[in-house]
Amino acid sequence: MDINKKIVDDFVANDVSFITTVPCKQLAGVIDEVEARDSIYHIPSNKEDEGMGLCAGAFMGGKRPAIIMQNTAIGVTINTLATLIQYYRMPLPMLISYRGELREPVACQVEMAVHTKALLAQMNIPTYHFHWQKDVEEFDNILKYTFMCNKPVAILTDANFWGGYGDQ
């Protein structure tokens, strides 16, 4: 299964047509796939809170948005999640590379990984963790859930899900 294609197919099937991205090595394939689709307006952001602002505007303009980013961005976006996305009750699927988990080669990434789920729980953000490739089968349901409840929803995707970084 091509998980990049499956993820973006699910975005398209759920009418997500505005996606902002801040890159991560693990997300390179899915970002390429987003860029390749005609039905999606792909707008790279310089910072994740900026991206959430773009998504808020697109939502109010009638588009279904999504953001693709790294888990380090949780440290950047707490205020934006609380005072924009949650306060105004907006849906926002957040496809997040979960750096610093199993098969991570960069030690510093673990420092935010250990806070990621706790921060999301503190924010009452529904959170899903994809560890095996088959976990992607839930993605379609998660998107439907997000636009049903008008909340930000986190999908954490670790290195094992993306196939690791080769031999370590």
Only one of the segments 40-48, 99-107, 114-122, 157-165 lies at the binding site for another protein (rule: CB under 8 A); that segment is: 40-48
Rounded to the nearest angstrom, the gap between the alpha carbon of residue 40 and the centroid of all alpha carbons in its chain is 15
β-bridge mates for residue 156, sequence order:
96, 129
Span interacting with another protein, options 79-87, 94-102, 112-120, 141-149, rule CB under 8 A: 79-87
Which one of 12, 23, 54, 131 is in contact with another protein (CB under 8 A)?
54
**Judged by CB under 8 A, which stretch of 59-67, 102-110, 113-121, 152-160 contacts another protein?**
59-67
CB of 80 to another protein, least distance (A): 5
Specify the 3-state DSSP secondary structure of 29.
helix
Is residue 39 involved in binding another protein (CB under 8 A)?
no
Q: Supply 90's token pair.
A: 């907006």
76 dihedral zone (left: phi>0; alpha: psi -120 to 50; beta) = alpha
Under the binding rule (CB under 8 A), the answer on residue 84 touching another protein is yes
How many residues are there in the chain? 168
How many residues sit in the footprint of another protein (CB under 8 A)?
A: 32
- Helix (H, G, I), strand (E, B), or coil: what is residue 148? helix
Please tell me the chain's helix, strand, coil percentages from 3-state DSSP, rounded to the nearest 5. Answer: 55, 20, 25
| H-state helical runs in 27-138 | 28-36, 48-60, 74-80, 107-122
**Closer residue to another protein in complex, CB, 58/154:** 58
Q: State which of positions 87-126 bind another protein (CB under 8 A).
A: 87-90
Q: List residues binding another protein (CB under 8 A).
A: 18, 41, 43-47, 49-63, 65, 79-80, 82-84, 87-90
